[in-house]
């Protein structure tokens, strides 16, 4: 099997890379450009006064950071999840279970700290 | 239960109490904190009793429970374990400490009820008991020293407990610094003993002590014990280091009762008794101890006669009584010293607590000139105080009589004693009777001089119960050491229990000329002291109850002498003029000329050199991270090329 | 030319190309997208090496999380192409390049030196990992490396708390320029 | 290598077929959505072009393809054009990893003067060992599409929409990833085919040394992980940016979110990407919780032996078995696709803070609870006898 | 012989050379780029290069530990990115600038 996957990944890379390059070149000539109102950024109602650098809430990137950290913790659970039953059968279930429990407690502590510190509040 | 467990509980119970109250001192209320602390000490007391019972059941020669928890210090020859010993001497001490300690904790619950830092107070108190137990139980001088320093710390903390008051904080500081002088001598004494005998274990030191009396002043035993004794004068408030104890009355009154009457101040006496074989081997030291003890007993008593502060009077009385103990130790009567230590713990704790009760009733008023006729307001306090009074002036059959009489007898009869020492002792007893009666009279009897706005009242039961228990002990406490002459005429011939109990632990003075007093002499001596004390008390009663104007006349007549005594012989001023101020001046000069002009300049030059070098290297530190990364890369290049070229 | 070799050369071409564009492109957003490309290429290389689970994790963590954060921050700052992408200073630049060159030469040299000494098994002959590598990975992770696992848990907790604190920080220690 | 031209060609063809299927399914789904919404809202919906308005699909496609292709002034040329293209790729690739039916086995045969085979072709784009990890990894790349489109358009509505959408996606990815830990633990594998195979037959709980069989129900993951199913399914709605989680394109506040500036064929590509996400979600739900391609109450062997009663050659038996399973899969799949559409026209939209709160403060803790509970049950069920 | 072998037979050396090349590209970026965020991306690139050699070693020595190391490196890299970007955002909010020259406050 692996080879099927490998081939596919190769194709995927080709699509992802080559297609972008081709399209970028096509975009160079194919797209219509202009200066009229038609080509202005879409605006609803009165034309906007402010420049393009709209202020964006730092919440978004804070969410992204917390996502990374929790995502990794979840990824750490995957190898545990697929081996947990094997560990139980080999008699090490308790040790590994407790190890994961400690990890989960850290996780839960972190999550509830974030909730309590209002890092996840949106308004 | 096995002994090490008992010992661990005995030691750790107060420490746990300290931790609980100490870590939660903002949160624990007075009842909770007091309850925890009292229970902690009471657990220790139960352990002490159990250990004591075990000790009693052992054969007389083998009465020793030693536990070593772990090895603490091991440097070459110096091997110190965390070892603790219960033997007849320390057994008495732990019973007194935990027993009296429990009562005083109980008293404090009520006494300190309205204080903000009450949990802190109980934490300190528990810590004190913990350190005191280490001091008492420690099997080596080093372990003892740990406790010694620990109780010093707690004493400092508790004297300065109301540290927002500048004077009280200063009193704590004074106690601490004065003790430091003694402690330094104590350390030196330890060094001398270790250099000579190669051990600091108390038991081994006693075994190794020279069997022949040392004549020289510079012999190891003499020098070592002398230095240790200087340490003891600091802790036990003897001449010349007694000055801190009267000031220490700044602390809460139960603290005065526990630390500055019953337990800590007796540590010096206890230390001498522990090392009795070593001290016996140094007759010169013994002489110094006896003389200083007798001098202190008289000296402090004279000051006590002129004081107006109820606690100050008791403080000088304590100094004086400690003098008695040292006198006893100095004449080789270690048993008598321990006996008086114990009875004194009972009645002096009682009197301090009683004074606390009075102060409580008088709304923090301590001046006895503003008291009087409190008898009718506070019957229980008065009655128990009365028992204490009888005990301290040495009226038979109260506790003080037996112990004081034993000391006086030994001072007269011991081979190390001298009739002059006896005479000093009797003088002290007479004066004690005088000033104590004066205190009683001014406080409880006579006409009321209480200001109108103060309404004295009897204290709550939490405070009176300890008083009653201690009062009882002040009466019967002496009955375990009844001398043979008296017991001979009593029905059933009660034995001298304490003497027998301590006998195997104590060495008798090294002298073949051991006088043995006949019964007649003994009766005579006893009679003289009792009668003189009674007369003195009667005179005082006459002065202060019947004709209160007489004392003033006498004071006027004495003129400058009275002034000198009432100003405590200007000892504090003397110390300032002769020692402290010159020292400060010297330090200032040293600082100015040596430190600033010489040492500092050297370091400046060194610093300039380093800075000069640094400013060269500083150019590398551009703050540009990329350059730093390049340095790392260059380092990697260097390492790799080294590895590859090799 | 076997499939193995073809895939390897193809993937390394893509990976190197996108890695170069990470370094060379003046627009940081393009750099970031090129880096995503590189990550995906490396993930595919992991697949050729039989590390399926790690390849998946590489996609989830790097491409799916870390680089999203990068792109998000870039868009937050709204950074366009820079006039000067590379740092100034010709001497220091030359020095830096020389360092890189020396390091590259040394590593290359080390590889060449070792090439002669070590027998080189090809992909097919290489020692076989257990067939179910993700399970083996789990078992080794939770027996031999369990301490590292717990320690990383704590690290992540600390960072989760620290970043929130940082994100909230109002001022710094420096005066505003 | 054992890998020959025939196999490579068939595998390649398979990919292209799956890609085309997905792309072609989109117009049908659009039609279903429009007719369905009309049905739900008691309207008529498209009914002019062709029978039941079915030819509307073609008309739409023609319209999309002939629209003007323009670049707004402030847009970043490259990103603006690349975003819709990349919208397709992760969805398609992830979907390829989901098994659609039993493998087709082809016996050895002679062709072009040499012998080929025997072959086994899995009924999926490609069979990668760590299926679920791969799917999660690839579909998480979708965030770039949104960010590229949002930022590349040079419009503040687009940027806001893109940030909201990507923040939402990553937030729900946590709940999504955590809710399947229980499933992974139960099946002890990442491989989707193995997971499906574990769901054969009637529902049988085995714990504490006993077995409890419930013949009336199929042995689906749903009955082992009900909470996991709810969390997973809810999270997929957010991942696909569908109502009630389509905050990114809330018309009232953000016009159309990250594709405000797009039109024509590029817009269509975003559509396809969105539907591809729905398809992945449905495919995974079916795989994890509803026995995948399995025919309920029957094992693949039983199906195969039934087919063997009327089909002749072994190749035909294998092929028909596969087709039956494919149909079984599509029935389940279609139900969940319809469910997506149904929910869209039934539930109102969340507010943004409610959305984030739901993801972080409700679903994530519940998913954690599900994980811990599953671990405890698994542990005690296997240790206590 | 060897000249064709190099292209057709893929060995550990190939992966190592690739890894080294990626590392060098990353290092160059770290040393020469001015944008802090790009520098951080180049650091990620270097970490990835190292990961690649870990996996290659793991494959060619038959030990799974290499993969676990990669797992850990991934975690650390993600943590580093989180903290680094948090810092950068802090600084950006203050100075509106991501040029590394603006970060030189710790000089001697």
Interface of E with B (CB under 8 A): 27, 30-32, 39, 100-101, 103-108
The phi, psi pair for B84, rounded to 5°, reads -135, 140
As a dihedral over the C-alpha atoms of residue A89, residue A95, residue A99, residue A104, rounded to 10 degrees, the angle is 60
Yes or no, beta carbons of C75 and D151 under 8 Å apart: yes
Yes or no, beta carbons of A82 and D368 under 8 Å apart: no
Higher per-residue confidence, B214 vs B534: B534
Tell whether the model's pLDDT for residue D335 goes beyond 80: yes
Cβ within 8 Å of A, C 125-164 = 134-135, 137-139, 141-143, 146, 149-150, 152-154, 156-157, 159-161, 163-164
Encode B470-504: b = buried (16+ Cβ within 10 Å), e = exposed.
bbebbbebbebbbbebbeeeeeeeeebebbebbee
Tell whether the model's pLDDT for residue E7 goes beyond 90: no
Percent of chain B topping pLDDT 70 = 98
Encode C101-136: b = buried (16+ Cβ within 10 Å), e = exposed.
ebbbebbeeeeeeeeeeeebebbeebeebeebbbbb
Decide if D170 contacts C61 (C-beta within 8 A): no
D214 within domain boundaries: no
Question: What value does the mean pLDDT take over residues E76-94?
Answer: 85
Tell me which chain C residues have a C-beta less than 8 angstroms from the C-beta of A109.
Answer: 157
Nearest to A61 among C10, C53, C72 (CB): C72
Identify the weakest region by mean pLDDT among C104-108, D183-187, D243-247: D243-247
ipTM of the modeled complex = 0.76
The closest of C64, D105, D360, E6 to A121, measured between CA atoms, is D360
What is the distance in angstroms between the Cα of A38 and the nearest Cα belonging to chain C?
24
Question: What value does the mean pLDDT take over residues B127-150?
Answer: 92
Question: What value does the mean pLDDT take over residues C64-72?
Answer: 86
What is the distance in angstroms between the Cα of E33 and the nearest Cα belonging to chain B?
9
Alpha helices in chain A (DSSP H): 2-14, 20-30, 59-89, 93-116
Task: Please enumerate in sequence order all residues whose Cβ is within 8 A of that of D108, keeping only pairs 6 or more positions apart, or say none.
Answer: D115, D116, D117, D118
What is the distance in angstroms between the Cα of E37 and the nearest Cα belonging to chain B?
13
| pLDDT, tens only, B463-472 | 889 999 999 9
In sequence order, what DSSP letters do the residues of B292-308 get, joined into one string?
Answer: HHHHHHHHHHHHHTT--
As a dihedral over the C-alpha atoms of residue D371, residue D373, residue D379, residue D385, rounded to 10 degrees, the angle is -150
Highest mean pLDDT among A84-98, B611-625, D359-373: D359-373
Tell me which chain E residues have a C-beta less than 8 angstroms from the C-beta of C28.
Answer: 35, 37-38, 41
Percent of chain C topping pLDDT 90 = 1
| pLDDT, tens only, D262-295 | 777 778 778 888 888 888 999 999 998 888 888 8
Using CB atoms, list chains with 3+ pairs below 8 Å to chain A. C, D, E
Question: What value does the mean pLDDT take over residues B558-586?
Answer: 80
Tell me which chain A residue has its CA closest to the CA of residue C141: A79
Tell me which chain C residues have a C-beta less than 8 angstroms from the C-beta of D128.
Answer: 47, 52
Question: What value does the mean pLDDT take over residues B117-135?
Answer: 92
Same structural domain for residues B553 and B480? yes
Yes or no, beta carbons of B626 and C87 under 8 Å apart: yes
3-state secondary structure of D202: strand
Which helix (H) or strand (E) covers residue D44, if one does? none
Yes or no, beta carbons of B621 and E107 under 8 Å apart: yes
Nearest to E108 among B618, B626, B630 (CB): B618
| pLDDT, tens only, B534-551 | 998 888 888 888 877 777
- Could you state, in order of their start, the residue ranges of all structural domains in chain C? 1-82, 90-126, 129-172
Question: What value does the mean pLDDT take over residues B594-615?
Answer: 85
Region for C78 from its dihedrals, namely left if φ exceeds 0, alpha if ψ lies in -120 to 50, beta otherwise = left
D191 within domain boundaries: yes
Tell me which chain C residues have a C-beta less than 8 angstroms from the C-beta of E60.
Answer: 121, 126-127
Yes or no, beta carbons of B633 and C99 under 8 Å apart: yes
Write down the mean pLDDT value for chain B: 86
The token duo for E90 is: 């802090």
Yes or no, beta carbons of D127 and A1 under 8 Å apart: yes
pLDDT at A4: 54
Same structural domain for residues B501 and B577? no
The token duo for B544 is: 């202060």
Structural domains in chain E (count)? 1
Longest dimension (CA), chain C: 63
Write down the mean pLDDT value for chain E: 83
The closest of B410, B400, B268, B405 to B345, measured between CA atoms, is B400
pLDDT classification of D19: cutoffs 50, 70, 90 = confident
Whether CATH 3.40.109.10 fits C1-82: no
pLDDT at B151: 92
Cα torsion B320, B324, B325, B330: sign: positive
Distance CA A85, CA A91 (A): 10
Rounded (5°) CA angle B154-B159-B160: 100
The phi, psi pair for D207, rounded to 5°, reads -155, 155
Which helix (H) or strand (E) covers residue D80, if one does? helix D77-96
Tell me which chain B residue has its CA closest to the CA of residue C94: B630
- Could you state, in order of their start, the residue ranges of all structural domains in chain A? 1-30, 56-123
The closest of D91, D101, D95, D135 to D121, measured between CA atoms, is D101
Q: Determine which of C85, C95, C96 to mutate to test the interface with B (most B C-beta atoms within 10 Å).
A: C96
> For chain A, which residues score pLDDT lower than 50?
1-2
Encode B279-313: b = buried (16+ Cβ within 10 Å), e = exposed.
bbbbbbbbebbbbbbbbbbbbbbbbbbbbebbbbb
Range of the domain at B379: 140-507+516-566
Question: What value does the mean pLDDT take over residues B312-338?
Answer: 90
Yes or no, beta carbons of B622 and E107 under 8 Å apart: yes
Nearest to A58 among E75, E79, E89 (CB): E89
Distance CA B255, CA B353 (A): 9
pLDDT at B99: 92
Range of the domain at E63: 2-98
Yes or no, beta carbons of C92 and B637 under 8 Å apart: no
Cα torsion D25, D26, D30, D33: sign: positive
Region for B336 from its dihedrals, namely left if φ exceeds 0, alpha if ψ lies in -120 to 50, beta otherwise = alpha
Decide if B372 contacts B448 (C-beta within 8 A): yes
Tell whether the model's pLDDT for residue D47 goes beyond 60: yes
The closest of A77, A107, C150, E69 to D190, measured between CA atoms, is A77
CATH number at residue E6: 1.10.287.3510
D341 within domain boundaries: yes
pLDDT at B569: 76
Task: Please enumerate in sequence order all residues whose Cβ is within 8 A of that of B633, keeping only pairs 6 or more positions apart, or say none.
Answer: C96, C99, C100, C103, E27, E31
What is the distance in angstroms between the Cα of A107 and the nearest Cα belonging to chain E?
15
Question: What percent of chain D is helix, strand and coil (3-state, nearest 5)?
Answer: 65, 10, 25
Tell whether the model's pLDDT for residue B133 goes beyond 90: yes
Q: How many CB pairs under 8 A join B and C?
A: 26
Tell whether the model's pLDDT for residue C17 goes beyond 70: yes
pTM: 0.62
What is the distance in angstroms between the Cα of A101 and the nearest Cα belonging to chain D?
8
pLDDT classification of C172: cutoffs 50, 70, 90 = very low
Encode B101-125: b = buried (16+ Cβ within 10 Å), e = exposed.
bbbbbbbbbbbbeeeebbbbbbbbb
What is the distance in angstroms between the Cα of E67 and the nearest Cα belonging to chain A?
12
Beta-bridge partners for D104 = D121
| pLDDT, tens only, B359-370 | 888 888 888 888
pLDDT at B493: 67
Nearest to A96 among C57, C142, C160 (CB): C142
Decide if C75 contacts D163 (C-beta within 8 A): yes
Across B324-372, where does the E strand assignment appear? none
**Cβ–Cβ contacts within 10 Å for residue D212, how many?**
10
Tell me which chain E residue has its CA closest to the CA of residue B614: E108
Tell me which chain E residues have a C-beta less than 8 angstroms from the C-beta of C97.
Answer: 28, 31-32
Yes or no, beta carbons of B621 and E108 under 8 Å apart: yes
D200 within domain boundaries: no
Tell whether the model's pLDDT for residue B375 goes beyond 70: yes
Tell whether the model's pLDDT for residue D6 goes beyond 80: no
Question: What value does the mean pLDDT take over residues E76-102?
Answer: 82
Q: Determine which of A17, A70, A94, A98 to mutate to test the interface with C (most C C-beta atoms within 10 Å).
A: A17
The token duo for B250 is: 């700044």
| pLDDT, tens only, B263-312 | 889 999 999 999 888 888 888 899 899 999 999 999 899 888 888 888 98
Structural domains in chain D (count)? 1
Same structural domain for residues B312 and B219? yes
Question: What value does the mean pLDDT take over residues D311-326?
Answer: 86
pLDDT at B513: 46
**Cβ–Cβ contacts within 10 Å for residue B70, how many?**
7
Tell me which chain C residues have a C-beta less than 8 angstroms from the C-beta of B644.
Answer: 106, 109-110, 113
pLDDT classification of C175: cutoffs 50, 70, 90 = very low
Tell me which chain E residues have a C-beta less than 8 angstroms from the C-beta of B623.
Answer: 103-108
pLDDT at B547: 79
Chains E and A touch (3+ CB pairs under 8 A): yes
Tell whether the model's pLDDT for residue C176 goes beyond 50: no
pLDDT classification of B607: cutoffs 50, 70, 90 = confident
Tell me which chain C residue has its CA closest to the CA of residue E84: C163
pLDDT at C128: 65
Question: What value does the mean pLDDT take over residues B182-190?
Answer: 92
The closest of D126, D145, D175 to D15, measured between CA atoms, is D126
pLDDT classification of C177: cutoffs 50, 70, 90 = very low
Range of the domain at D310: 5-195+219-380
What is the distance in angstroms between the Cα of D130 and the nearest Cα belonging to chain C?
6
- Residue D115 is given by DSSP the state E
Last residue of a domain, one of B118, B139, B160: B139
3-state secondary structure of B84: strand
Structural domains in chain B (count)? 3
Q: Determine which of C88, C100, C103, C110 to mutate to test the interface with B (most B C-beta atoms within 10 Å).
A: C103
Tell whether the model's pLDDT for residue E45 goes beyond 70: yes
Which helix (H) or strand (E) covers residue B584, if one does? helix B581-589
Question: What value does the mean pLDDT take over residues B564-586?
Answer: 80
Cβ burial of C94 (10 Å; 0-12, 13-18, 19+) is: exposed
In sequence order, what DSSP letters do the residues of D274-318 get, joined into one string?
Answer: HHHHHHHHHHHHHHHHS-TTPPTT--HHHHHHHHHTT--SHHHHH
Distance CA A103, CA A79 (A): 13
Nearest to E31 among B617, B621, B626 (CB): B626
Tell me which chain A residues have a C-beta less than 8 angstroms from the C-beta of E87.
Answer: none
Same structural domain for residues B266 and B129? no
Chains C and D touch (3+ CB pairs under 8 A): yes
Distance CA A64, CA C76 (A): 12
Tell me which chain A residues have a C-beta less than 8 angstroms from the C-beta of C42.
Answer: none
Tell me which chain B residues have a C-beta less than 8 angstroms from the C-beta of E39.
Answer: 625-626
- Residue D124 is given by DSSP the state S
């Amino acid at each position: 099997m692996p080879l099927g996957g490998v081939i596919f990944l190769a194709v995927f890379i080709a699509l992802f890379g080559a297609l972008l390059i081709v399209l970028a070149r096509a975009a160079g000539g194919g797209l219509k450009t202009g200066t009229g109102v038609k080509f202005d950024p879409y605006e609803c109602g009165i034309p906007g006064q402010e420049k393009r650098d709209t202020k964006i809430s730092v919440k978004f990137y804070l969410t992204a950071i917390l996502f990374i950290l929790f995502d990794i913790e979840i990824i750490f659970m995957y190898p545990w999840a697929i081996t947990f039953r094997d560990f139980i059968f080999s008699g090490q279930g308790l040790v590994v279970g407790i190890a994961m429990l400690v990890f989960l407690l850290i996780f839960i502590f972190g999550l509830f700290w974030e909730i309590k510190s209002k890092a996840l509040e949106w308004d | 239960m096995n002994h090490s467990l008992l010992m661990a509980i005995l030691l750790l119970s107060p420490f746990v109490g300290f931790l609980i109250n100490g870590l939660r001192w903002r949160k624990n209320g007075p009842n909770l904190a007091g309850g925890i602390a009292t229970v902690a000490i009471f657990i220790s007391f139960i352990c002490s009793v159990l250990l004591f019972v075990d000790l009693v059941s052992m054969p007389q020669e083998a009465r020793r429970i030693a536990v070593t928890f772990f090895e603490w210090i091991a440097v070459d020859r110096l091997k110190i374990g965390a070892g603790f010993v219960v033997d007849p001497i320390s057994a008495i001490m732990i019973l007194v400490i935990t027993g009296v300690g429990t009562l005083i904790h109980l008293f404090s619950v009520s006494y300190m009820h309205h204080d903000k830092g009450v949990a802190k107070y109980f934490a300190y108190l528990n810590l004190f008991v913990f350190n005191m137990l280490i001091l008492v139980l420690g099997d080596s001088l080093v372990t003892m020293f740990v406790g010694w320093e620990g109780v010093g710390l707690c004493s400092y903390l508790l004297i300065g407990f109301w540290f927002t008051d500048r004077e009280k904080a200063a009193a704590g500081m004074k106690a601490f610094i004065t003790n430091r002088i003694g402690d330094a001598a104590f350390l030196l004494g330890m060094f001398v003993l270790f250099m000579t005998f190669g051990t600091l274990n108390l038991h081994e030191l006693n075994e190794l002590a020279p069997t022949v009396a040392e004549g020289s002043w510079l012999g190891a035993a003499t020098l070592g014990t002398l230095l240790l004794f200087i340490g003891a004068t600091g802790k036990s408030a003897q001449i010349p280091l007694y000055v801190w104890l009267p000031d220490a009355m700044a602390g809460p009154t139960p603290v005065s009762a526990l630390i500055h009457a019953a337990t800590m101040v007796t540590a010096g006496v206890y230390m001498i008794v522990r090392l009795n074989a070593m001290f016996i081997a140094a007759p010169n030291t013994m002489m110094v101890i006896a003389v200083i003890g007798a001098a202190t007993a008289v000296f402090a008593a004279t000051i006590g006669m002129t004081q107006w502060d109820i606690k100050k009077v008791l403080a000088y009385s304590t100094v004086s009584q400690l003098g008695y103990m040292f006198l006893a130790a100095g004449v080789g009567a270690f048993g008598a010293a321990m006996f008086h230590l114990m009875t004194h713990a009972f009645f002096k704790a009682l009197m301090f607590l009683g004074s606390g009760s009075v102060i409580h009733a008088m709304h923090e008023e301590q001046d006895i000139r503003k008291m009087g006729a409190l008898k009718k307001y506070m019957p229980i306090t008065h009655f128990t105080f009365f028992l204490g009074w009888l005990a301290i002036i040495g009226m038979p059959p109260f506790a003080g009589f037996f112990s004081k009489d034993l000391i006086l007898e030994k001072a007269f009869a011991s081979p190390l004693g001298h009739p002059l020492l006896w005479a000093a002792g009797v003088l002290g007893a007479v004066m004690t009777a005088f000033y104590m009666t004066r205190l009683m009279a001014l406080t409880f009897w006579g006409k009321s001089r209480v200001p109108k706005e103060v309404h004295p009242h009897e204290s709550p039961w939490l405070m009176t119960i300890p008083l009653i228990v201690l009062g009882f002990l002040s009466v019967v406490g002496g009955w375990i050491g009844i001398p043979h002459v008296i017991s001979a005429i009593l029905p059933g011939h009660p034995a001298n229990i304490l003497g027998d109990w301590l006998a195997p632990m104590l060495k008798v003075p090294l002298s073949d000329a051991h006088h043995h007093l006949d019964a007649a002499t003994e009766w005579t001596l006893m009679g003289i002291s009792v009668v003189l004390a009674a007369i003195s008390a009667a005179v005082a009663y006459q002065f202060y109850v019947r004709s209160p104007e007489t004392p003033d006349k006498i004071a006027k007549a004495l003129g400058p002498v009275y002034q000198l005594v009432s100003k405590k012989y200007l000892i504090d001023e003397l110390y300032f003029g002769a020692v402290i101020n010159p020292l400060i001046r010297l330090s200032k000069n040293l600082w100015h000329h040596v430190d600033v002009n010489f040492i500092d300049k050297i370091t400046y030059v060194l610093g300039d050199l380093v800075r000069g070098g640094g400013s060269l290297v500083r150019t590398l530190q551009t703050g540009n991270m990329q350059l730093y990364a390049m340095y790392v890369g260059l380092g990697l290049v260097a390492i790799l090329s080294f590895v590859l070229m090799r | 030319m076997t499939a193995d070799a073809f895939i390897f050369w193809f993937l390394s071409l893509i990976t190197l190309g996108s890695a170069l564009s990470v370094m060379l492109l003046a627009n940081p957003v393009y750099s970031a997208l090129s880096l995503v490309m590189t990550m995906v290429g490396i993930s595919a290389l992991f697949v050729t090496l039989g590390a399926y689970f790690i390849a998946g994790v590489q996609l989830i963590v790097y491409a799916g999380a870390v680089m999203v954060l990068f792109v998000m921050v870039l868009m937050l700052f709204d950074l366009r192409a820079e006039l000067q992408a590379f740092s100034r200073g010709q001497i220091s630049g030359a020095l830096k390049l020389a360092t890189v060159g020396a390091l590259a030469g040394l590593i290359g040299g080390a590889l060449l030196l070792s090439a002669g000494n070590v027998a080189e098994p090809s992909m097919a002959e290489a020692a076989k990992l257990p067939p179910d590598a993700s399970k083996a990975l789990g078992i080794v992770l939770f027996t031999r490396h369990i301490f590292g696992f717990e320690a990383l848990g704590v690290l992540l907790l600390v960072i989760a708390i620290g970043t929130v604190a940082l994100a909230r920080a109002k001022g710094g220690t420096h005066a505003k320029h | 290598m054992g890998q020959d031209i025939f196999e490579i060609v068939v595998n390649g063809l398979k990919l292209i077929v799956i890609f085309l299927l997905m792309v072609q399914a989109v117009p049908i789904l659009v039609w279903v959505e429009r007719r369905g919404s009309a049905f739900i809202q008691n309207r008529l919906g498209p009914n002019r072009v062709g029978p039941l308005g079915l030819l509307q699909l073609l008309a739409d496609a023609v319209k999309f393809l002939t629209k003007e292709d323009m670049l707004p002034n402030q847009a970043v040329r490259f990103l603006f054009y690349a975003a819709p293209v990349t919208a397709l790729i992760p969805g398609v690739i992830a979907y390829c990893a989901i098994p659609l039916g039993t493998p087709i086995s082809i016996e050895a045969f002679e062709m072009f003067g040499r012998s080929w085979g025997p072959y086994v072709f899995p009924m999926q784009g490609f069979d990668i060992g760590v299926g679920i990890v791969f799917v999660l990894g690839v579909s998480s790349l979708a965030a770039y599409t949104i960010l590229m489109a949002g930022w590349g358009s040079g419009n503040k509505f687009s940027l806001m929409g893109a940030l909201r959408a990507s923040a939402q996606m990553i937030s729900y990815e946590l709940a999504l990833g955590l809710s399947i830990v229980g499933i992974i633990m139960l099946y002890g594998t990442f491989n989707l085919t193995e997971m499906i195979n574990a769901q054969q037959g009637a529902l049988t709980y085995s714990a504490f040394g006993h077995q409890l069989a419930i013949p009336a129900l199929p042995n689906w993951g749903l009955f082992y992980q009900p909470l996991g199913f709810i969390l997973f399914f809810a999270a997929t709605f957010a991942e696909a940016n569908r109502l009630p989680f389509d905050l990114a394109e809330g018309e009232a506040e953000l016009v159309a979110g990250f594709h405000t500036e797009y039109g024509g064929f590029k817009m269509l590509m975003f559509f396809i990407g969105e539907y591809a996400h729905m398809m992945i979600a449905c495919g995974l739900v079916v795989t994890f919780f509803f026995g995948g391609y399995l025919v309920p109450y029957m094992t693949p062997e039983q199906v195969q032996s039934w087919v063997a009663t009327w089909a002749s050659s072994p190749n035909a038996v294998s092929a028909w078995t596969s087709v039956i399973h494919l149909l079984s899969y599509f029935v389940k799949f279609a139900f969940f696709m319809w469910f997506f559409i149904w929910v869209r026209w039934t539930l109102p939209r969340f507010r943004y803070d409610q959305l984030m709160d739901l993801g972080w403060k409700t679903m994530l803790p519940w998913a954690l609870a599900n994980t811990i509970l599953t671990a405890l049950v698994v542990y005690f069920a296997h240790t206590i006898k | 012989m060897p000249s064709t072998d190099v292209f057709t037979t893929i060995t550990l050396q190939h992966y190592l050379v690739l890894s080294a090349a990626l590392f060098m590209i990353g290092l160059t970026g770290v040393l020469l780029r001015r944008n802090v965020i790009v520098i951080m991306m180049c650091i990620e690139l270097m970490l990835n290069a190292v990961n690649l050699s870990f996996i290659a070693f793991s494959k060619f020595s038959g030990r799974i530990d290499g993969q676990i190391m990669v797992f850990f490196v991934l975690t650390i890299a993600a943590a580093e990115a989180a903290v680094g970007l948090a810092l950068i955002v802090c600084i950006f909010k203050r100075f509106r600038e991501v040029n590394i020259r603006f970060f030189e406050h710790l000089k001697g």
